[in-house]
Amino acid sequence: MIQRTRSLPLGTSILSGLVILGLVPIVLRYLNGLGATTNLSDGRAWGFWISFDLYCGVALAAGGFTLAGAVYIFNLRKYHAVVRPAVLTAFLGYTLVVLALLVDLGQPWYIWHAMIYWNVHSPLFEVAICVMTYTAVLALEFSPAVFERFNWRVPLRIIRAIQIPLVITGVVLSTLHQSSLGSMLLLMPDTLHALWYSPILPILFLTSAVAVGPAMVIFESTLSNRAFGHKLDLDVLSGLARAIPYILGLYLLLKLVDLMVAGELGLLFSGYPHNLLWWAEITVGVVLPIVLFSLASVRQSRRQLFWCSVLVVIGLVLNRFNASMLALDMRPGFTYFPHWMELAISVGLVADALLVVVLAYRFLPMAYHEEVAAETG
């Protein structure tokens, strides 16, 4: 039933190697502290981990709530087959975020303080609570795959009974924390460059996350098709692709109108060098995908769909890096370039997640989980 290709064991061993490579700096970080293992400083207190693992990680995991919402709330049955992989990657994405925070926090052993000392005015508090709850929701949403595998009827029935409330909770929590990641930057009106700072940052962050959700699903399913063999209907992929230009179009419109209202459109041409970052992120991640995904010929080709979704993903990564690092001023007199250990830890964590994906595809019913199994059982 499961095709074993030669590339799999090789891929798995590379991934395992990366995991081990990432473990060493983690140990060093706990022994010697953040100063010894990172290039972070008082001037750049948030670095690669926050931009990549938190900001990109959460946004790229948006496929989970967008797809679950589309299928279970908007009743778009067609996409049923991709919900489970999307929810799994979302769950792993969030687990990764939490693990990365356990490395990044100065006092990770007190992470639970966020649950008992509430500062309801802090956007970070909201992010923490939502991420924590949503990770649990995602685990529950994915749990049927495990229950089906071992044929545990009772828990399966329970989960199916609360499935809709779960999905709705997931959408609500995602709306809140995807946008709150934007709200977090609202506290920095003087250090975040005007091309990114905006009172509607939370809305922009939410919209771009919703747009990258389907793109990530196209991206992941193409890759998993290649690695594990089950082919998804082209119709499903192109259907997802069809939605993207609308969401990105709305996003672009919001961005431009916002700059216009603030009277900062001129910065697009004068705000060198930051304007180049802006143009890069918008051209690659917004304008090009809007044009390409609108072409029927692109939507008929798996290859082109894949590469266009890569553009959306790159654009989002650029945007989050710009807003949380490159366009966010350091204190005067500081410089920052991530230490290799910072990078190694992040790479190791991503490899962790990929390993779990490989295992899940091998041992769990990922692609075909039709209701039949539950309803007849």
Partner 1 sequence: MAKAVLYDATKCIGCRACQVACKQWNELPAEVTTNQGTYENPPKMSAYTFTKIHFTELEHDGKFQWVFAKLQCMHCEHPACATACIVGALVKTADGPVIYDDRKCIGCRYCMVACPFGVPNFEWDKPIPWIRKCTFCADRQGGGLKPACVTTCPTGALEFGDREELIAEGRRRIAATPDKYVDHIYGEKEVGGTSWMYLSPVPFEKLGFPTLRSEPVTINTERAMGAVPPVLLGVAAAMSGFYWLFKRREKISQAEAGDEEKQGEKVK
Q: Which among 341, 254, 298, 302 is positioned nearest to 37, based on CA atoms? A: 341
The footprint of partner 1 on residues 196-215 (CB under 8 A) is: 199, 201-202
Beta bridge partners of 328: 192
Q: Single out the segment in contact with partner 1 by CB under 8 A; choices: 31-39, 83-91, 265-273, 309-317.
A: 31-39
DSSP 8-state assignment for residue 332: T
Rule CB under 8 A: choose which of 45, 132, 146, 343 binds partner 1.
45
Q: Kindly report the CA angle at 107 between 138 and 130, in degrees rounded to 5?
A: 25
**180 scored as a contact of partner 1 (CB under 8 A):** yes
Q: Single out the segment in contact with partner 1 by CB under 8 A; choices: 175-183, 226-234, 280-288, 302-310.
A: 175-183
Q: Which among 19, 47, 14, 36 is positioned nearest to 336, based on CA atoms? A: 47
**32 scored as a contact of partner 1 (CB under 8 A):** yes
Q: Kindly report the CA angle at 37 between 178 and 99, in degrees rounded to 5?
A: 35
Q: How far is the CB of 325 from partner 1 (least distance, A)?
A: 10
Rule CB under 8 A: choose which of 11, 21, 30, 136 binds partner 1.
30
Q: Which residues of 335-362 are buried (b: 16+ CB within 10 A; e: fewer)?
A: ebebbebbebbbbbbbbbbbbbbbebbe
Rule CB under 8 A: choose which of 57, 63, 64, 69 binds partner 1.
69
Rule CB under 8 A: choose which of 15, 18, 34, 87 binds partner 1.
34
Rule CB under 8 A: choose which of 186, 280, 314, 373 binds partner 1.
186
Residue 11 structure tokens: 């891929």
Residue 326 structure tokens: 């490159």
**110 scored as a contact of partner 1 (CB under 8 A):** yes
DSSP 8-state assignment for residue 83: H
Cβ–Cβ < 8 Å for 269, 263 = no
Site string for partner 1, 317-346 (x = CB under 8 A): -----------x--xxx-------------
Rule CB under 8 A: choose which of 5, 16, 191, 300 binds partner 1.
191
DSSP 8-state assignment for residue 330: P
Q: Closer to partner 1 at the Cβ: 180 or 221?
A: 180
Q: How far is the CB of 338 from partner 1 (least distance, A)?
A: 15
**194 scored as a contact of partner 1 (CB under 8 A):** no
| Phi/psi at 192 (5° precision) | -90, 130
What is the C-alpha end-to-end distance of the chain, expressed in Å?
Answer: 22
Q: How far is the CB of 289 from partner 1 (least distance, A)?
A: 26
Rule CB under 8 A: choose which of 22, 64, 85, 123 binds partner 1.
123
Q: Closer to partner 1 at the Cβ: 310 or 326?
A: 326
Q: Single out the segment in contact with partner 1 by CB under 8 A; choices: 34-42, 252-260, 315-323, 343-351.
A: 34-42
The footprint of partner 1 on residues 262-321 (CB under 8 A) is: none
Q: How far is the CB of 347 from partner 1 (least distance, A)?
A: 22
Q: Single out the segment in contact with partner 1 by CB under 8 A; choices: 138-146, 176-184, 276-284, 369-377.
A: 176-184
Q: Single out the segment in contact with partner 1 by CB under 8 A; choices: 7-15, 124-132, 225-233, 349-357.
A: 124-132
Q: Which among 105, 141, 115, 135 is positioned nearest to 26, based on CA atoms? A: 105
Cβ–Cβ < 8 Å for 267, 194 = yes
Q: Which residues of 86-101 are buried (b: 16+ CB within 10 A; e: fewer)?
A: bbbbbbbbbbbbbbbb
How far, in Å, CA of 182 to CA of 262, rounded? 18
Q: Single out the segment in contact with partner 1 by CB under 8 A; choices: 163-171, 245-253, 313-321, 368-376.
A: 163-171
How far, in Å, CA of 348 to CA of 19, rounded? 4
| Phi/psi at 328 (5° precision) | -105, 115
Rule CB under 8 A: choose which of 175, 283, 294, 304 binds partner 1.
175
How far, in Å, CA of 377 to CA of 371, rounded? 10
| Residues forming the site for partner 1 (CB under 8 A) | 30-36, 40-43, 45-46, 69, 72-75, 104-108, 110-111, 113-114, 117-126, 128, 164, 168, 171-172, 175-176, 179-180, 182-184, 186-191, 199, 201-202, 328, 331-333
